Structure 1
């Protein structure tokens, strides 16, 4: 399956507009700061619509306005797709997950139909180890 030139132009335009890199967009990526790379990577991952997204630590870089822009786009993708997430952000897990699989400190794998229950187990293990 190949993308047409128009589809390709649309994707590039989306990433360029979303990332807000300005003149740096066409420069070599090796010249980018880590924040610029993050903006580009997030824009690229959101330019394509998938049934499932593998999400590792949802983070947004930049000022509050750009972070809100990322959150809004992420939520719109979540409305039409499923996520498999790995995160230490407990609020993100509560916001985006319906169920949880928690791997405990002894490599025990537990399934939780309630995300809040998995989070409580995580907090209890953290408190026990301190």
Structure 2
């Protein structure tokens, strides 16, 4: 289980203090998938980074009683002066994994070809995301953190990612952030709306989505309901 209590995060900017998260609390049990909706800048990615341990909260607690991934497709844990191959070797050593097996898997999954032998600083953002996702899959975490995975690659690659996550690892806990409301609806068992630094939890997606649309002032476009809204 992951237990988050009274999580606060304050950043210091040149304009003063910026409160991003203000008393966020939730529990996540094995097999549960929490989908989080929120406007841009609401603090969704910040919350995921705190849960992963990539950043520390200003106050509050995170009790991790299961292994937790870094945010999928996030390359912050990697060394950009090293090649993709050397980053796989580095991660394999840290997690006591078989390097040759991991290399074969990542090469096949990420489809980076000769760029696997090039330093990450030469990669496009999409290539970095593909490598980061593939490397994330070589470690069998209990909980996966998914931040806008829909931005990684084309439709075929999305299908590969979804197969790895929701079919091969369907028993894992997950926290999912996406601007695609249908993606969050289809892949989650619980939902939350993050607004003004606070997280409201829901057991019904339609209720969560209705509240989210009200918070952002969404109005039906001409031709609705034949035009599906985005949640950007």
**Fold shared per TM-score above 0.5:** yes
Partner of 1:3: 96
Counterpart in 2 of 1:94?
185
Instruction: Determine which structure has the larger helix proportion and give its number.
Output: 1
TM-score using structure 2 length: 0.49
Q: Structure with the greater relative contact order (CA < 8 A, sep ≥ 6): 1 or 2?
A: 2
Which among 203, 215, 228 is matched to residue 125 of structure 1? 215
The runs of 5 or more residues in structure 2 that have no matched partner are 1-93, 220-232
Aligned length: 126
Q: Choose which of 38, 54, 69 in structure 1 pairs with 2:145.
A: 54
Q: TM-score, normalised by structure 1?
A: 0.82
Greater mean deviation of Cα atoms: 87-96 or 70-79? 70-79
Contact 2:150 2:178 in 1 (8 A): no
Q: Deviations over 1:42-84 (max 9, x none)?
A: 1111222111111111225333322322222222244121101
RMSD between aligned residues = 2.3
Q: CA deviation at 1:127?
A: 2.1
Higher strand share: 2
CA contact (8 A) 1:19 1:40 kept: yes
Unaligned runs of 5+ in 1: none
